[in-house]
Structure 1
Amino acid sequence: MEFLDFTNAEAVAEYEAFVEEMGGSFMQSVRWCGVKQDWLHEAVIVRDGGGRICGSMLVLVKKFPLPLKAFLYSPRGPVWDYEDAAVLQELLLGVWQLSRKYHAYSFKLDPLIEETDSKKIFALRAAGFSFQPWQPDEKTIQSRNNYILELQNRSEEELLRSFKGKCRYNIGLAKRKGVTCTVCGRERLGDFQRLMEETGKRDGFRVRSQAYFEGMMDALGEKCRLYLCEYEGQPLSGAICVQYGGRTCYVYGASTAAHREVMPNYLMQWEMIRWAVEAGCAVYDFQGVPCWYDPQHPNYGVYRFKTGFNGRLAIYAGEFRMVFAKHYKSAFDRAMKLVGYQKLA
């Protein structure tokens, strides 16, 4: 077991190549550290007998001034072959060392494993993690309920034919009405921010700052794209999309209430799916579908919209926790509520 030297370009490149080859999340990329600049960061590496990386885990460190404790978090980690328990134990040896270094209260991870994957869940529980099955009202750092579209060995034409009829019609309608969808640079983030603020006010959620989105585009580089849909010179919808490890993710999206009749959101999703297909990705991830189980909920429309693309619901197992200092649990949980999950994500 070793820790990544972030100042060594060759070591970082080797780490990135492993995470991407294994289909790891962009949140396990070293690039993600540039987005989470208010966190400290470490990366644990395990090698096989031939010196090749066989396991890795990016760990973010959130330090609290009182009581001089820290929280360790591996977003969508670790990256390793779940069949190899010895590698996981080596990775956790590194986490234990980090817990002592930073006086950590606890460690949390939320890997991209679905709740039906009992074998992988067992591997993490056997390693000492506590785990609670999904509950409808549970708040987690990352979304547990995503909508995904499988892309492997499917052409654009096959995918388009597979969409529900109304979805195909709306994509065509947007084109016929003259809606354009363009990949833009960070100079258009002001337009996106205005759309985000309108969306947040309308749907009742807190909005990231423009500086955050600028940092995201800078840190992720060519892996991150800003899409804007416009009609008669007016931005109608926008999205920040990230492509990494064979998966293209619709991370942030926003829209105005104006001119909904020209269906810009359908065209925008289609253009991002086309980017995923061009890159040979296996999955297009629409990300969260809050309250998919409750047709009466105000946010149910998010789920209804995404089902038009005829993908599938993916419910992830959720968060696994390891506690190092139980007597700090109640104080830490109160701090988490004060900080808010959005700031941790």
Structure 2
Amino acid sequence: MNRQARLIGPEEEKRFDAFIASHPKGHFLQSYGWGEVKATTGWQPLRLVLEEGGSIVACASLLKRQLPYVGKSILYAPRGPVVDFHDANLFSELLAAIDGVARQEGAILLKIDPDIPESDTAVKQLLREKGFRLANKGAGFEGVQPRHVFRLDLTPSPEELLANMHSKTRYNIRLAQKKGVTIKDDCTLDDLPVFYEILKETTLRDRFLVRSYSYFETMWREMVERGYARLFLAYYQGEAIAGALAFIMGDKAWYLYGASSNRHRNVMPNYLLQWAMILWAREQGCTMYDFRGVPGDLDEKNPLYGLYRFKKGFNGTFTEFIGEYDRVYSPFYYWLWQAALPLYSQGFRRLLFWKKKAAAVE
């Protein structure tokens, strides 16, 4: 087979995204626009395509991060690459092309975390044969992308979807409607500051970090305006009390960012928000709705068990992915990176959290 690999530029964005949207393993994190979002946070996006007869047959959106002082970099393909992993020859050709990019960019590793279920032993064996090593074995949120999610099949009718939910979830959706909670699903950029204020309130309550407002502005420009995301806001008595961002790529949708105010939580806005996003995704022709991360540790004493219970109530399928796999190009620098990164990340996150908390108090 005469297949050719090359890096593409912005003039081929629509063609690149069209292939990802049509592929069974296509993901919004592999889209051209998401690479532009990550470019504002120190990553350099590199879009690689493998073509045959003028058509794309596989691709990868690679994020390159330059490492300080050593003149090296890392490559990361979030939820990629976009390829049929069960076609060993096709995967091998794409991997060879990625290896070429890695050499040019001085990469010490390639990290992937593809949308492949843990039960797929054939793909795990293929990755091992190609020199990949499992990089993360945690049961929680230790990875870059969540290893455990809930996924909802959207092919049943709305009535069937409701009927299949846990009775408490169905009750809370109807309670929100009865209490007068309304959903604004035609948000504009003017609504983004409203969402961000609720998001900051959420981060302080639940003790997690949040990106800067400029990051969400970029996300709006690169994803919402491209038609790959939409903002939803829940209102009660004229006040926005919850919000969420939903993403879409082809026939798949994802819930990514959610926020809720400390006020009026008893009217259950988050349940109605999810239901509105599910209906929207279904109207867009989606057949799958991904609730994103839940803990793998299902002990009820786990602080994140409430998140698991909330998402489980919508009757999605608990899904575990194969996790992160690293292809190592430089064993010494990889060891150094593995040793230094956890210490750096813990210190940076702790410092950033307390700075944000102090600023909120002031």
Bin of the TM-score, shorter chain as denominator length? over 0.9
User: Cα distance, 1:251 vs. partner?
Assistant: 0.4
Distance 2:329 2:151 in 1: 35
Distance 2:216 2:128 in 1: 36
Asked whether the 8 Å contact 1:224–1:240 carries over to 2, the reply is yes
Asked whether the 8 Å contact 1:56–1:80 carries over to 2, the reply is yes
Which deviates more, 132-141 or 156-165?
132-141
Partner of 2:178: 176
Counterpart AA for 2:38 = K
Partner of 2:79: 76
Counterpart AA for 2:175 = L
Q: Give per-residue Cα distances to partners, 1:146-169, cap 9 Å, x unaligned.
A: 1111113x1111111111111111
Asked whether the 8 Å contact 2:136–2:324 carries over to 1, the reply is no
Asked whether the 8 Å contact 2:8–2:48 carries over to 1, the reply is no
Counterpart AA for 2:30 = Q
Distance 1:194 1:297 in 2: 28
CA gap 1:287/1:39 in 2 versus in 1, 3 angstroms: same
Distance 1:291 1:84 in 2: 30
TM-score of the pair, normalised by structure 1: 0.93
Asked if 1:103 is matched to 2:117, the reply is no
Partner of 1:230: 235
Counterpart AA for 2:45 = H
Counterpart AA for 2:102 = S
Asked whether the 8 Å contact 1:250–1:286 carries over to 2, the reply is yes
How do residues 183-194 of structure 1 correspond to structure 2 at under 5 angstroms? 183=185, 184-194=187-197
Distance 2:141 2:174 in 1: 38
Distance 1:297 1:3 in 2: 46
Asked whether the 8 Å contact 1:57–1:74 carries over to 2, the reply is yes
TM-score of the pair, normalised by structure 2: 0.89
Partner of 2:51: 47
- Please list every run of at least 4 consecutive aligned residues from structure 1 whose deviation after the TM superposition is greater than 4 angstroms: 339-342
Asked whether the 8 Å contact 2:136–2:142 carries over to 1, the reply is no
Partner of 2:97: 94
Asked whether the 8 Å contact 2:141–2:295 carries over to 1, the reply is no
1:206 aligned to which of 206, 209, 212: 209
What RMSD over aligned residues (CA atoms) do the two structures have, in Å? 1.8
Counterpart AA for 1:72 = L
User: Cα distance, 1:133 vs. partner?
Assistant: 7.2
Distance 2:297 2:271 in 1: 19
Partner of 2:9: 6
Counterpart AA for 2:264 = H
Distance 1:40 1:205 in 2: 26
User: Cα distance, 1:125 vs. partner?
Assistant: 2.1
Partner of 1:61: 64
Partner of 2:35: 33
User: Cα distance, 1:291 vs. partner?
Assistant: 5.0
User: Cα distance, 1:234 vs. partner?
Assistant: 1.7
1:275 aligned to which of 271, 277, 280: 280
Counterpart AA for 1:114 = P
Asked whether the 8 Å contact 1:39–1:60 carries over to 2, the reply is yes
User: Cα distance, 1:292 vs. partner?
Assistant: 4.7
Asked whether the 8 Å contact 1:193–1:209 carries over to 2, the reply is no
2:316 aligned to which of 311, 314, 325: 311
Ranges in structure 2 where 5+ consecutive residues have no aligned partner = 350-362
Partner of 2:356: none
Q: Percent identity?
A: 38
Distance 1:136 1:124 in 2: 21
**SS of alignment partner, residue 92 of structure 1:** helix
**SS of alignment partner, residue 8 of structure 2:** coil
User: Cα distance, 1:330 vs. partner?
Assistant: 3.2
Ranges in structure 1 where 5+ consecutive residues have no aligned partner = none
Asked whether the 8 Å contact 2:234–2:243 carries over to 1, the reply is yes
Partner of 1:327: 332
Q: Give per-residue Cα distances to partners, 1:58-115, cap 9 Å, x unaligned.
A: 1110012311110100000011122221211111122211222111111100001111
Which deviates more, 317-326 or 191-200?
191-200
User: Cα distance, 1:332 vs. partner?
Assistant: 1.4
**SS of alignment partner, residue 242 of structure 1:** strand
Asked whether the 8 Å contact 1:133–1:317 carries over to 2, the reply is no
Asked if 1:247 is matched to 2:252, the reply is yes
**SS of alignment partner, residue 326 of structure 2:** strand
**SS of alignment partner, residue 142 of structure 1:** coil
Counterpart AA for 2:51 = R
Aligned residues: 338
User: Cα distance, 1:277 vs. partner?
Assistant: 0.8
**SS of alignment partner, residue 4 of structure 1:** strand
Which deviates more, 271-280 or 123-132?
123-132
Distance 2:251 2:345 in 1: 33
CA gap 1:7/1:256 in 2 versus in 1, 3 angstroms: closer
